[in-house]
């Protein structure tokens, strides 16, 4: 409707006749008409009607219309005289002659047409009239300027309309991406506005869905925290009771008591990890950052891990790196890196080495590579190993230690630092985990 209105408006505005009208590039203007009319009149005076007949002046395909009128006020070729010419003939009967007249016409394109009395070489007197034809039908509308203006305006309208339709869809797409990345606070209806269409309804439904998801996950985290807190007290009492029981009974039951105590310790560690994971998944985690040497921190971690690796018949080495100041929380990073190295120690083959590297990256980031020599992880499960309680195959089972929470805690810690953790298999079938940490301090 809008484009049709624009085309109609341009057609109306550009159809107004003017000697400077741009349509003169296709239709002759007034000056050209007068030049041709004068030339034909001179030819008629000098050569007579033969010239007019031979040239087929003002024929069907001509843009000009000419008439030679005899004493009977009829065109000598039998062409019907248009009303403006008939009006001019009425004036000539009264002895009034016009060179240029201004009578509205539906036949001629312009309001300007002419009528002159010409004496032929034979002495006969005729009336010579002419004007520019008015083009009929749709062809008259298709001038280059009209087409260009209509196309430009149509393109502008289409661009604005497409932007109007696509902008809220892009907002929704961005919101869905943020929600999939774990941002439960994302809302989109306030950015779309009150359009009152289906997209607005979809945005409102999205906000309702995100709000319900946020409530559900928050309640799940709260339940996990509450259960973990409630379990810590009976576990502490159980360990005290075990110590008292150990003193009362003989050595015959010491093995069973040790087994119960070991399971209680493991359960206590699990609860502590769950509390840590639940705390990291909340939105109000406050990270106290300080400047420290990341390379020195890695050296301490590797030194402690090497002691633990001896029990698994493997080694841990820091193969590359240099002094590198970073702004982060050293205790949280230590916990995150230790979780990955301990995981690598569990699954690397015997008599192999877990390799740790520190690499300086662009954009103020540090990269830590930790590579084991184990069996690796199926490609389709690489992104799942950072989910809580995930065990991708038998090789990485509970029998090797751990609950499948350590890597989840690592990912939450790195994300809290606005960093990133990526897992990939190496060509040697081992697993390599890369940690990207922003906050490098320029020396």
Sorted by where each begins, the domain ranges of the chain are 28-134, 290-438
Q: Does domain 290-438 bear CATH number 3.30.2010.10?
A: no
Residues 6 or more apart whose Cβ sits within 8 Å of residue 163: none
Write down the pLDDT at residue 298. Answer: 94
- Average pLDDT on 37-48 reads 86
Q: What is the mean pLDDT of residues 55-63?
A: 59
The answer to whether the CB of 232 falls within 8 A of the CB of 267 is no
Three-class DSSP category at 399 = helix
Confidence of residue 62 (pLDDT cuts 50, 70, 90): low
Residue 128 is predicted with a pLDDT of 86
Pairwise pLDDT comparison (359 vs 245), residue with the higher score: 359
Band of residue 353 on the pLDDT scale cut at 50, 70, 90: very high
For residue 393, what pLDDT is reported?
55
Q: What is the pTM of this model?
A: 0.51
Report the pLDDT value the prediction gives residue 53, as an integer from 0 to 100.
65
Looking at every residue in the chain, the average pLDDT score rounds to: 77
315 part of the active site: no
pLDDT of residue 421: 92
The pLDDT > 70 percentage for the chain reads: 76
- What is the CATH code of the structural domain delimited by 28-134? 3.30.450.160
Q: Which two tokens stand for residue 56?
A: 């087929």
Q: Residue 145: phi, psi to the nearest 5?
A: -65, -40
Contacting residues for 307 by C-beta, under 8 A, at least 6 apart = none
Lowest mean pLDDT among 15-19, 334-338, 408-412, 418-422: 15-19
Higher pLDDT, 314 or 117: 314
Name, of 272-286, 312-326, 373-387, the range with top average pLDDT.
Answer: 312-326
- Give the integer Cα–Cα distance in Å for 77 and 96: 25
pLDDT band for 57, please (50, 70, 90 cuts): low
Please give the pLDDT value at position 3: 55
pLDDT at 6: 54
**Matching fold, domains 28-134 and 290-438:** no
Is there a contact between 27 and 135 (Cβ–Cβ < 8 Å)? yes
Non-local (6+) Cβ contacts of 161 within 8 A are none
The predicted model gives 342-347 an average pLDDT of 90
Q: Which of 14-28, 80-94, 106-120, 271-285 has the highest mean pLDDT?
A: 80-94
Active-site residue (options: 77, 112, 229, 349)? 229
What confidence tier does 99 reach under pLDDT thresholds 50, 70, 90? very low
Do 218 and 189 meet the contact criterion of CB atoms below 8 Å apart? no
Res 292 pLDDT > 50? yes
122-134 mean pLDDT = 83
Report how far residue 111's alpha carbon sits from residue 260's, in angstroms, rounded to the nearest whole number: 112
């Amino acid at each position: 409707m809008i484009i049709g209105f624009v085309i109609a408006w341009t057609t109306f505005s550009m159809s107004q006749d003017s000697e400077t009208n741009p349509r003169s590039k296709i239709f002759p203007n007034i000056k050209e008409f007068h030049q041709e009319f004068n030339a034909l009149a001179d030819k008629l005076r000098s050569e007579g009607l033969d010239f007019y007949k031979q040239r087929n002046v003002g024929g069907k395909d001509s843009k000009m219309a000419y008439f030679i009128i005899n004493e009977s006020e009829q065109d000598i070729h039998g062409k019907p005289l248009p009303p403006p010419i008939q009006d001019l003939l009425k004036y000539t009967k009264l002895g009034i002659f016009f060179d240029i007249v201004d009578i509205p016409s539906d036949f001629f394109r312009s309001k300007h047409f002419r009528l002159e009395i010409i004496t032929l070489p034979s002495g006969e007197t005729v009336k010579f009239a002419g004007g520019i034809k008015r083009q009929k039908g749709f062809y008259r509308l298709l001038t280059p300027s009209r087409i260009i203006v209509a196309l430009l305006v149509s393109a502008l309208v289409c661009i604005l309309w497409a932007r109007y339709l696509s902008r809220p869809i892009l907002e929704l797409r961005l919101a869905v991406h943020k929600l999939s990345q774990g941002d439960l606070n994302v809302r989109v209806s306030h950015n779309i506005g009150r359009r009152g269409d289906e997209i607005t309804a979809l945005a409102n439904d999205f906000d309702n869905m995100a709000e319900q998801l946020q409530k559900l996950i928050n309640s799940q985290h709260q339940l996990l925290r509450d259960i973990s807190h409630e379990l810590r007290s009976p576990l502490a009492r159980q360990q005290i009771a075990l110590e008292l029981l150990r003193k009362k009974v003989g050595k015959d039951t010491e093995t069973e008591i040790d087994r119960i105590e070991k399971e209680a310790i493991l359960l206590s560690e699990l609860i502590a990890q769950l509390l840590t994971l639940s705390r990291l998944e909340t939105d109000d985690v406050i990270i106290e950052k300080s400047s420290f040497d990341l390379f020195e921190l890695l050296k301490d971690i590797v030194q402690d891990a090497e002691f633990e690796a001896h029990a698994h018949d493997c080694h841990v080495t820091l193969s590359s790196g240099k002094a590198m100041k970073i702004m982060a929380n050293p205790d949280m990073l230590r916990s995150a890196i230790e979780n990955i190295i301990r995981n690598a120690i569990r699954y690397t083959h015997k008599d192999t080495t877990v390799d740790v590297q520190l690499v300086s990256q662009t954009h103020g980031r540090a990269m830590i590579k930790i590579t084991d020599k184990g069996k690796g992880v199926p490609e389709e499960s690489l992104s799942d190993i950072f989910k809580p309680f995930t065990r991708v195959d038998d090789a990485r089972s509970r029998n090797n230690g751990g609950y499948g929470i350590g890597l989840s805690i690592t990912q939450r810690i790195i994300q809290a630092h606005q960093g990133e953790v990526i897992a990939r298999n190496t060509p040697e079938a081992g697993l390599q985990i890369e940690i990207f940490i922003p906050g490098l301090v320029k020396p």
